[in-house]
Amino acid sequence: MRPCTCLLYMPLTLVFEFKFDHYMMKQDWTRLFADCNILKGRAWSLFLLRILLMPWIVYKIRT
């Protein structure tokens, strides 16, 4: 897996999660954006950061 793959995974994850939660789970946008607030103990931003960095980290370890 190439390290630039993470540049595709993260936007796709964001689009899927926000659209699914808003349209299928009927959550409002303010709640969805509040889940990204790390200062209030929400870990969603850390998960997104992991998605962004993990392919690069694995690539560096394997090469």
Number of domains, the chain? 1
The pTM of the full predicted model, rounded to 2 decimals, is: 0.68
Give the separation between CA 11 and CA 8, rounded to whole angstroms: 6
Q: Which domain holds residue 13?
A: 3-62
- Stretches where the chain sits below pLDDT 70 are 1-5
Give the separation between CA 22 and CA 7, rounded to whole angstroms: 23
Give the separation between CA 1 and CA 56, rounded to whole angstroms: 9
14: amino acid identity, one letter: L
